[in-house]
Structure formats: C-alpha cells, structure tokens
Amino acid sequence: MDRTAVVLLATALVAVFALLVAAAAGLLARLDGATFPAALTRGAVAFATVLTLASALAGTLAQFLH
C-alpha cells in the first residue's frame, strides 16, 4: 500500500473519531442539563482535544519511525 494512501486513511479515521467524540460529548452535556451553546462548546473542546492528542502522538511516533 502506498504511504500517501496510509496517511490519508489515518487522517480520515482520526477526523471521524474526533467527530464521534465531539457528538458524544455534546450529547452527554445536553443530557446533563447544559444549554445548547454550552453543549456545543463542550463538543468543540472535545473535538479539538482529540485532534491535538492525535497530532502529538503522530509527532512522537514520527521520531521513532523515520
């Protein structure tokens, strides 16, 4: 498999996972009684956190795999 295809597939997988985590965080916040803007903010924070963790992990692994 081409390295570019692997990178694109991994990026798409991380983006989908981040969207799922953000939706779950927003839903749980809403079920907990948060207002819609507060639930949306919590979902956005969860989305950004997953992307940050994924980029930190990729940067760390790149040092060892290169």
Residue predicted with more confidence, 52 or 6: 52
pLDDT of res. 43: 97
pLDDT of res. 53: 96
Domain ranges of the chain: 3-65
pLDDT of res. 51: 97
Global confidence as pTM = 0.88
Residue 15 is which amino acid? A
Residue 1 tokens, joined:
């498999």
Instruction: Give the pLDDT confidence of 20-62 residue by residue, as tens digits.
Output: 999 999 999 999 999 999 999 999 999 999 999 999 999 999 8
- Contacts of residue 36, defined as CB under 8 A and 6 or more positions apart, other chains included, come to 30
Q: Is the pLDDT of residue 66 over 90?
A: no
